[in-house]
Amino acid sequence: MAVVTDPQPPARTDPPASPDGGRRRIVAMTVWAVAFVAAWLAIGLPTDPAYAFVWIWAATIAWNSERPWRSHLRFARDWVPVVLLFMAYNLSRGFADNGATPHAMELIVADRSMFGWATGGEVPTVWLQQHLYRPQVHWWDVATSWVYFSHFVVTLAAAAVLWLRDRHRWAAYMRRWGFLCAAGLVTYFVYPAAPPWWAAQNGLLTEVARISTRGWKAFGMHGAGNVLNAGQIASNPVAAMPSLHTAWALFVVLFFLTATRRRWWPLLLAYPLAMTFTLVYSGEHYVIDVLVGWAYVGVTFLVVGLAERGWAVWRARHPSGKAERPTEQPT
C-alpha cells in the first residue's frame, strides 16, 4: 500500500474559468463602459461618493457577472457604511468655517518664504498662472483636469479592486483611509483655511483663476464636469489645509508601493507630484497645504499601523475562542 507523505496543496477557492472563454465578461464590461460614457456626457463625471459608488459597484458586477447575486449584494453590504461615512464627511465640511474668517495670510507667507526666491516674491500659484494660463486651452490644462478628476475615482477604484482580490487588505486600506479623512476633517474645524482663488477674490493675492475643470472644453465636453462644478460651487471654501487631494494620491501610492516592483516606483510616485502641480496651478491649494497633507499620510500609516499591532497583541493574549474543557471522569 502506498502512503502519501507529502502535504497536498489546498483546494482551490477561486472561481472556475469561464466556459465561454471570457466573452461574457467582455460584453458586460463593454455595456458598462458605454453606459458610463453616456452618463458622463449627459450628467457629469462621478465625483459624488454615492454616484461614484454606483458606477464602481456596476463595474464589479460586470467584471464578475457569472457570480451569484449574493456575492454582489455582499459588496453593497460592505460598502454602504463607507459611502454613508464619506457623504457625512462631505456634508460636515460645509460647517467647518462656523462663519469665522478663514486663515489665508499665513499660508501666503509660508509659500512666499519657501519659493519666493524663485518666483519673484509670488506664491507658486500666481507664478504658474502667469507663465502657463492663457485664454485658450492647452494640453497641460487638459492633463490637469484629468488629474484633478482622478482624485474622486482612483482611491475608490483601488479599494474596489482590493475588495475583489483580498478583503483583509481592503479592511486595512479602509482603516487608514478613514483615519486620514477624519484627521483632515478635524483640522478643517480647528484651522479653517482658504485656497489661493479665495485669497485673490478677497484682495490678498493678485488675480488667480480657478481652472481645474477647463481642460475638458478642448474635447467639446462642456458638460462633462457638471457634477464637479456644482460640487465646487457648494463646497466649503475653507477646507484647504491639509490638501486631502494630494494626501489621497500619496496614500494610495504608498499603500501599494511595497507590493510593486521597484522599476514602477517612479511612475507611481509621479502621480502625487502631478496632483500637486494640478492643485497649485489651478488655484485650489498652496504648496504648504500639500506638504501638510503628505505629513498627515505619514502619521496615518504610523498611528494605524501601531494600533493594528497593539490590537493583534491584545487578541493573542485574550483569545476569543474558548478552549474545550476536559471532561471530568467519574470517580
Describe the crossing of helices 69-93 and 49-63 by its angle, rounded to 10 degrees. Answer: 160
DSSP-derived secondary structure letter, 330? P
Q: What is the pLDDT of residue 31?
A: 86
- Say which residues have a Cβ less than 8 Å from residue 18's Cβ, sequence separation at least 6: 24, 25, 66
- Assess contact for 199 and 103: CB atoms under 8 A: no
Per the prediction, the chain carries an average pLDDT of: 79
238 versus 105: which is more confidently predicted?
105
User: What is d(CA 268, CA 254) in angstroms, rounded to the nearest whole number?
Assistant: 9
Q: Which three cell numbers stand for residue 114?
A: 519657501
83 versus 93: which is more confidently predicted?
83
Tell me if 41 is assigned to some domain. Answer: no
Q: What is the pLDDT of residue 7?
A: 46
What DSSP string runs through 16-32? PPPTTTTHHHHHHHHHH
Q: What average pLDDT score do residues 219-232 get?
A: 49
- Assess contact for 116 and 287: CB atoms under 8 A: no
With a cut of 50, say whether residue 200 has pLDDT above it.
yes
Q: Which three cell numbers stand for residue 131?
A: 507663465
Q: How far is CA 146 from the centre of its chain?
A: 14
Count CB neighbours of 228 within 10 A.
Answer: 23
Tell me if 17 is assigned to some domain. Answer: no
Q: What is the pLDDT of residue 32?
A: 83
Residue showing cell 458605454: 34
- Say which residues have a Cβ less than 8 Å from residue 87's Cβ, sequence separation at least 6: 49, 50
- Say which residues have a Cβ less than 8 Å from residue 91's Cβ, sequence separation at least 6: none
Tell me if 214 is assigned to some domain. Answer: yes
Q: What is the pLDDT of residue 151?
A: 84
Most confident of 185-194, 255-264, 293-302: 293-302
Tell me if 173 is assigned to some domain. Answer: yes
With a cut of 50, say whether residue 5 has pLDDT above it.
no
- Assess contact for 210 and 201: CB atoms under 8 A: no
- Assess contact for 192 and 94: CB atoms under 8 A: no
DSSP-derived secondary structure letter, 217? G
Tell me if 64 is assigned to some domain. Answer: no
With a cut of 60, say whether residue 226 has pLDDT above it.
no
- Assess contact for 127 and 119: CB atoms under 8 A: yes
Q: What average pLDDT score do residues 18-47 get?
A: 75
Nearest to 176 by CA among 28, 297, 68: 297
Q: What average pLDDT score do residues 278-288 get?
A: 93
pLDDT tens-digit series, residues 100-118: 678 889 999 999 999 989 9
Tell me if 85 is assigned to some domain. Answer: no
Q: What is the largest CA-CA distance in the chain?
A: 97
Q: What average pLDDT score do residues 15-36 get?
A: 73
With a cut of 60, say whether residue 6 has pLDDT above it.
no
156 versus 280: which is more confidently predicted?
280
Q: What is the pLDDT of residue 172?
A: 92
Q: Where are the alpha helices (DSSP H) in the chain?
A: 23-42, 49-63, 69-93, 105-119, 124-132, 139-150, 154-165, 167-190, 196-201, 226-234, 244-257, 265-281, 287-317
- Say which residues have a Cβ less than 8 Å from residue 14's Cβ, sequence separation at least 6: none
Tell me if 295 is assigned to some domain. Answer: yes
With a cut of 60, say whether residue 4 has pLDDT above it.
no
Tell me if 63 is assigned to some domain. Answer: no
Q: Which domain holds residue 257?
A: 99-315
- Phi, psi of 103, deg, nearest 5: -75, 135
Q: What is the pLDDT of residue 275?
A: 94
- Say which residues have a Cβ less than 8 Å from residue 254's Cβ, sequence separation at least 6: 297, 301
Q: What is the pLDDT of residue 269?
A: 93
Q: What is the pLDDT of residue 92?
A: 61
Q: Which three cell numbers stand for residue 68?
A: 451569484
Nearest to 150 by CA among 274, 22, 330, 58: 274
Q: Number of folded domains in the chain? A: 1
pLDDT tens-digit series, residues 161-188: 888 888 889 999 999 998 998 898 888 8
End-to-end alpha-carbon separation of the chain, Å?
44
Nearest to 178 by CA among 86, 97, 116: 86
In one-letter notation, the amino acid at residue 172 is A
In one-letter notation, the amino acid at residue 242 is P
- Phi, psi of 89, deg, nearest 5: -60, -45
Q: What is the pLDDT of residue 227?
A: 46
In one-letter notation, the amino acid at residue 182 is A
